[in-house]
Structure 1
């Protein structure tokens, strides 16, 4: 039923349950890798290249909120929760950048990001907020509206790929970048780059979004009758149920997961086993906790990524998790 769908994903260790759903449980959707991450998938959804995206919470919610700020329809909604645990973002610089020893040395330095709006971009604001580097005078009121603009806490260098990010901190095109710890670790081990810090997302790390054409337009969780019938069209519902099966297989076949991650995704067995101890996938990927979305918007607003005033959270979420559970 899901054979005509195209699912965008990041080809890292977190994609293992998706691979198992495809291999073992007849998830017939086309799986399209996006190594440059969530920001690229936002563009792909809006251009009709993919129908479903599995990416980082902050990237999806920032994009949805910014479209509301601009009074535009993003063309997609949050439909599911993929990973319950937070993500550890490792903060890296060039191996020979002796002047950069810790996060304290990064104020005003150039951050490398995959794309504007990506997780690597959004988390630079969260990092700046955590360290008090978002100067209140940089928040400029707009006299023609209730919205505000925030000066970037760091100069930004858009570099698209993880390989480019690693090169940039060694050539001094950028001073630092942020990427998931276990994906970055092998490059610490081989001496290509060095770690100077880390930061965890203040929210569960991965969400699933779907293009609006996969949703019943007048039957979202906030609309009439949402508790009685699913706002998800059958082909989307089918794909999510098969991803559930992939998650269950992942949990019950950890050795198969280790072998896939270490052979096909180029992580060491040691790192794969260490990662397994840190991650918890959703038992049922359908539905999103409204409180998580609300808290994410609050933090992104505080960090100056979006203007949270007047954001309608119901417009971001196709089905809340409590409503999804009623239909299981």
Structure 2
């Protein structure tokens, strides 16, 4: 039985992986799939792919594209979540900031450079016609717990993170959400190290088949809203809203979307050059 290591954020988007692992679906197919949670997100997973700590990652689209352009020896093999990620723009509850324009020139908390929270700060700046060279400043806070401490203590002024995962923090009066910033592209893809793809191509095909069979009918799983609410400490109405807004994918991201993302990242100076479609994706 071959062992394959995969990483992802411990969020509701990835519950299907947990359910498949719990059900023994991968072991029944002769694969020892080992899941690792990455609380600090895409930047940490990109590094883990580079370092060979994991073979695969369920990772933010813009983050892995940037890192492959920068030399990460990996390829995207499938879109995992087709719909945009809705990033909430958060400030400390007692902050004087009332709207997004108040944040111009202040300090954004980011999990690490190259992370989704970092890249989306640029997208938010562009959406609001800020100067990305003078109106953006950053404080590295590692993860969501770090953001809570950083904003509360005034080390940073605002923080972008998926709005449903931060909703309990808003409900507790720790954060205030003053706006949203949806990704203008599908939010999550599955990426694989090139070396792992050569070694485990058949096993990776089987992994995709198993997870895709589950995500196709994910919303029809009995009491799935209750399962998500309990596991991720969410209100049932918030989970139901999230489910209504979220669509999984079983297809490879197309060339037009890859080009559009690269064009936007290039315009923001997040990447310095573009790669061909074949350098970013692999058809398996």
Give TM-score, length-normalised by structure 2: 0.93
Q: Give the match for residue 301 of structure 1.
A: 266
Q: Give the match for residue 160 of structure 1.
A: 142
Whole-Å separation in 2 of the counterparts to 1:272 and 1:78: 28
Q: Give the match for residue 173 of structure 1.
A: 155
3-state SS of the aligned residue for 1:126?
A: helix
Whole-Å separation in 1 of the counterparts to 2:51 and 2:134: 27
Q: Give the match for residue 131 of structure 1.
A: 128
Does the CA contact (< 8 Å) of 1:16 and 1:250 recur in 2? no
- Cα deviation, 1:61-93, whole Å, max 9, x if unaligned, reads 1111233xxxxxx12111111001011100001
Displaced runs of 4 or more, over 3 A: none
Does the CA contact (< 8 Å) of 1:27 and 1:243 recur in 2? no
| Residues 1:248 and 2:216 aligned together | yes
| Residues 1:204 and 2:169 aligned together | no
**Ranges in structure 2 where 5+ consecutive residues have no aligned partner:** 28-32
Q: Give the match for residue 34 of structure 1.
A: 38
More helix by share: 2
- Cα deviation, 1:95-154, whole Å, max 9, x if unaligned, reads 1112x111001111100000100100000111111111136xxxxxxxxxxxxxxx4741
Q: Give the match for residue 122 of structure 1.
A: 119
Whole-Å separation in 2 of the counterparts to 1:290 and 1:267: 36
Total equivalences in the alignment: 279
Aligned-pair CA distance for 1:246: 2.0
Q: Give the match for residue 24 of structure 1.
A: 23
**Alignment equivalent of 1:270, drawn from 237, 254, 279:** 237
Does the CA contact (< 8 Å) of 1:125 and 1:153 recur in 2? no
Whole-Å separation in 2 of the counterparts to 1:65 and 1:233: 23
Whole-Å separation in 2 of the counterparts to 1:196 and 1:279: 22
Aligned-CA RMSD value: 1.8
| Residues 1:104 and 2:104 aligned together | no
